Structure 1
């Protein structure tokens, strides 16, 4: 694999056959041994072997036996491991003294955290974690928060990338969990990508799609994205919708399917509820109205509907173009509606992948580190809370369940208001990744907020911290993690972490021991001591729930492919997880986010049927004006990950995308006198940055800035606001203006 061709050579294959093996690798020295792992710089879950020589990582190769990648690697897999060897790794704890961060012992650093924790009530402590830790670490953190401290204030940066995935799956199917599988690419005859630039966010999955497109009987392809991405250029139909109008498009497409009879009525009658309400809502979205709202050609909407309506095996994938935009959950639920109306779920080639943005985002949702109850349990179901209280042997009232869990954006608001006084940030860099960065900096600087930052390097966030804890990373610790299609991988420790850096699991266990958390009989609350015993504890917690890990042991994960919980596909029998005693949620109003009570859910008598849910499109809360006439969307590049704490330290990746840029449509550029490469100032009501212009085929009236870069950060421009259901921030809805500076 070479940087100029990040997707490598094609290995075409026919529908129904196996994806051929192609092993990608990169090494700087010949390893003396190989250690099993998987990718942690995107959510695809590629199987990887880590090459080690003389106690140091010297290369990687794809695992040919793995079901996810069949040996292929994303460019970030190929080169990103070099960050492990970076000379600027954190190797000792840091504490703030005299206004500066100075090195300290672990005893002093942890002592400060424990001392401050014991001065506070549970409701004054918050945790903001990552989508890049391991399952065992999330579960331990979840037990500390829910059963040790009893705080409801726990979430992660997965709120920024995957919350809508979880919300949409729960709303339609009763619980979280992807219905589909990556192997659906092998069988489908149509692929629809809804706001999903898979070529750059999950490059290996795109390789699989391209190989099908280059084989016999290639699948048709639809792309919905305002940008002219590699996916849009490959697609048979590209709908460059106006940002913030996804729901109007989906309502219009569903109306066309219903009007033209492209619906499996027998499947709908047997396996769903809500058809009449859905029909009533979408009937108000004829093609001319949708074309006007979305700014796309009526003929293209008709073509898209025909492609979707005549498919025999439709695979949909959804990501940030829907999740980080207006009416995010409602639009993503509409994709589920499409598959339910067509009966395209639970069989090879017919499935939905509400994708994740981070490698272990699935685990935050399963284990409760995102604030939900572990095992996809329902916080509003007393029997589910009792199960956990019995499992952990704590009093029922200890576990926060009196209201919905505190989502990340509300955690930051509580910190801003002063009610949260200790904020523990692990494995993430919110001083670059959160919206409206000027506000985030003000929060982190507050005198009354004690900030703990746990990371590999000094980052923009650690510079605000009172205590900084040096963490071990991928390749330096053992644990499991689960990708977007429910595939669980084991990642073995290959090398020691530098200096005194510790695995996140060891840090959390140390905190629990120093806090002396006890169960109601006076025994230690947390009884596990290492990754495998933590995993065994999680297996007990997951037993009998949709994400049941009891059959997936460490031994089964050693040496071969990753394994999926729940089987290759969910809902193969048309029965969904909507029974009132089993479901993860009693539902929410798609427009307001208001939680429905248990009685409302039981009255529907779902009996294992999926919900068809719909609501009307409304204009976005921030739209262009005379002062700010353009729409800003943010996103990713294939060469970088998040805020570049790792990928920015890999020379090959940094060379390809070392700094920020802004994509501008040629007509917008011409009107403003902007030429290719000219430095422009991008301003929103919240801030401004400067970046060189790239003139391209992005939708006119829309500009794009990648969010990875701390210098001239895109999130100086974005707004504080979130979807009412998933609480995911709307990164793709800022109004901006441009002017040429030089």
Structure 2
């Protein structure tokens, strides 16, 4: 299939290829080229988390198109709109091609030696002075390669010794990792995309898969159009394409996800829809779970969630009557009230029903970015690499021996510093060097007025490493031009643990460098050494960095030792851990192996190793429960509506790339405010009117769209810098995952122009 420039915009999911349960998803090869390629180079998608396998077409040293790879397990040849057109962003004429430094208040061009000397001089002064490592903060992305994250993690943890390291993955899917650790002992998705081929029911919990992972949605639609289609449940306050397709749609009141799950779990127990043998053999915590959910009868849940009791009963019957249930969870849960507790409740559902580790039965705590899984695996998000436990001395010693550094060098005396706390330390002045790579926090963080104030601090030295001169780069002291997808080599892992190798297809423009080369240059200039006085970092290129990662991951859940570059070149996408995890009902909860000793779901308080061992998990999963608590900000008379932010099919994050692609920009060029008809009528607003939406923190203006979103709720996509939704959002986060609560701000709207 060769879509025209408009086909994949007007028809984003393409033609259907129906198939029945147990059959293999048929091949459908999508492609788009502007010239006939001379050669094709292997890669995968970098504008969402699905991991679609892509071949890059090259001619005369330039990228001229893409095609889906028919043999790959993830997409079977299909591409979504961002895959089809997004590669053109790298050709944009406003790419950063030389370093920039701030002189007399203005960013001016300079050479690499001058730029790196400035960073190293400031770094050495801070490291040698009082406070040392505590003055460094690293804030990275979910879009670099595994090799780059691992190198950055070693620099931070073993070179500098700072715990202040996290990524923008904290904003989108930190709750995925927290929920998986809490229930199963370590990170790692139990299920596989292949479970779509076998399931008889799909439950999407706050997951607009049609727009966030469009190729996975194609797979779901094809099953739904084939014989023996799976039933579908959607929990979302908006009438998304998923909600319109679903057999049961619960337009839930934002912030009440946990109350709904507690009520559904109570009904599962009351109706006997429990795999008693599985629960007895493979779980702990059922009595406490039953005690909590007993307090969530149907009428209470319906009132709290503002749902019809009959719809909740239909949802319970769909979940309880299925034999092979697949659940997916994303931002509607992760960026909302009691995020980890609600996501864990989905895990509880699958454990009670014995729906883990077999074809069609599993849970995907989804990721939102293409390499978010790698930030968590390698420790670039602050955790210890290889899903090791920062609170387990043996795990810290393993790393110290691997890196040949003193154990005391590796930060493990307290939980890793999460992103929101890193920004708080910068605000307070204790972090004095903030290195931002591949992300645009001046648009993506909550409460942007506060973020701008922090970035403007005179005592904060800001390094920005990116491919364009972003809104954040305008605040930087040094800007480093980076290479992007297709211009460098490395691996990355999608949401169902599929590893792909992305090969370098073309040279980066000007003096731009691969992120790995930038980090290696910094390490050399800083002269980081191990205990024997030898260079701390010995690798020099992507493949040697990958081999070091293989050593680090050996024996851990995310063991890459059997997945070589050679195998990835030969076989395409390969899953670590096999097609499904926990197939034998044994989980990663043993106290000596687990990634965490657990946290209180209500407060986030860390449990001790002693308390964990006393539970004697012996490979059994945990059934955790928590009571519903109201959100931290509720609508008032002054701000009577609830704001939820989210994504759009044609844009990605802050449009750094997609906003520079003509087809994608034209498909969704500007921000909008989505209102329910009743709310629009009450405020005198018609479709197309320009409205002002305000919260206690700020305001933006945008055209109104009248949709069947639930009453009292408004939606604004967060991608747009000029009228950024995050001018409105609150500085608050989940107590366990520390993920910001983007879907809970109280707002008001008024028409300013008809």
Question: Does TM, normalized by the shorter one, top 0.5?
Answer: yes
Alignment partner of 1:445 is 2:456: yes
- Residues 123-148 of structure 1: CA deviation (Å, up to 9, x unaligned): 10000000000000000000000000
Alignment partner of 1:119 is 2:125: yes
CA distance in 2, matches of 1:586, 1:66: 37
Does the 8 Å contact 2:234/2:248 carry over to 1?
Answer: yes
SS of residue matched to 1:414: helix
Does the 8 Å contact 2:501/2:572 carry over to 1?
Answer: no
Q: Give 1:560 shift.
A: 3.1
CA distance in 2, matches of 1:503, 1:162: 25
Aligned to 1:291: 302
**Correspondence 1:235-384 to 2 at 5 A:** 235-384=246-395
SS of residue matched to 1:558: helix
CA distance in 1, matches of 2:71, 2:422: 42
Alignment partner of 1:230 is 2:236: no
Aligned to 1:507: 518
Alignment partner of 1:688 is 2:694: no
> Among 645, 662, 667, which residue is 2:673 paired with?
662
CA distance in 1, matches of 2:500, 2:96: 27
Matched pairs, number: 742
Does the 8 Å contact 1:196/1:320 carry over to 2?
Answer: yes
> Among 421, 440, 443, which residue is 2:432 paired with?
421
Q: Give 1:162 shift.
A: 1.1
**Correspondence 1:139-288 to 2 at 5 A:** 139-288=150-299
CA distance in 2, matches of 1:265, 1:418: 55
Aligned to 2:103: 97
CA distance in 2, matches of 1:29, 1:233: 38
Aligned to 1:529: 540
- Residues 480-511 of structure 1: CA deviation (Å, up to 9, x unaligned): 00000000000000000000000000000000
Alignment partner of 1:30 is 2:36: yes
CA distance in 1, matches of 2:11, 2:681: 31
SS of residue matched to 2:702: strand
Does the 8 Å contact 1:154/1:405 carry over to 2?
Answer: yes
Q: Give 1:731 shift.
A: 0.1
Does the 8 Å contact 1:186/1:349 carry over to 2?
Answer: yes
Alignment partner of 1:554 is 2:565: yes
Aligned to 1:51: 57
Aligned to 2:747: 736
> Among 399, 403, 406, which residue is 2:417 paired with?
406
SS of residue matched to 2:571: coil
SS of residue matched to 2:10: coil
TM-score normalised by the chain length of structure 1? 1.00
Does the 8 Å contact 1:173/1:578 carry over to 2?
Answer: yes
Aligned to 1:393: 404
> Among 488, 501, 515, which residue is 1:490 paired with?
501
- Residues 668-706 of structure 1: CA deviation (Å, up to 9, x unaligned): 001111001000000000000000000001011000000
Aligned to 2:129: none
SS of residue matched to 1:570: coil
- Residues 577-616 of structure 1: CA deviation (Å, up to 9, x unaligned): 0000000000000000000010010000000000000000
CA distance in 2, matches of 1:597, 1:114: 39
CA distance in 2, matches of 1:344, 1:625: 42
Aligned to 2:481: 470
CA distance in 2, matches of 1:652, 1:98: 39
Alignment partner of 1:67 is 2:73: yes
> Among 553, 573, 576, which residue is 1:565 paired with?
576
SS of residue matched to 1:222: strand
SS of residue matched to 2:232: strand
Aligned to 2:90: 84
Runs of 5+ unmatched residues, structure 2: 127-131
- Residues 373-404 of structure 1: CA deviation (Å, up to 9, x unaligned): 00000000000000000000000000000000
Does the 8 Å contact 1:36/1:559 carry over to 2?
Answer: no
CA distance in 2, matches of 1:275, 1:559: 46
Aligned to 1:110: 116
Q: Give 1:559 shift.
A: 4.0
TM-score normalised by the chain length of structure 2? 0.98
CA distance in 2, matches of 1:521, 1:560: 40
CA distance in 2, matches of 1:660, 1:471: 28
Q: Calculate the aligned-residue CA RMSD, in Å.
A: 0.4
Runs of 5+ unmatched residues, structure 1: none
- Residues 620-651 of structure 1: CA deviation (Å, up to 9, x unaligned): 01010000000000000000000001000110
CA distance in 2, matches of 1:356, 1:130: 13
- Residues 229-274 of structure 1: CA deviation (Å, up to 9, x unaligned): 0000000000000000000000000000000000001100000000
CA distance in 1, matches of 2:532, 2:139: 30
Q: Give 1:74 shift.
A: 1.1
Does the 8 Å contact 1:129/1:426 carry over to 2?
Answer: yes
- Residues 104-156 of structure 1: CA deviation (Å, up to 9, x unaligned): 11000000000000111111000000000000000000000000000000000
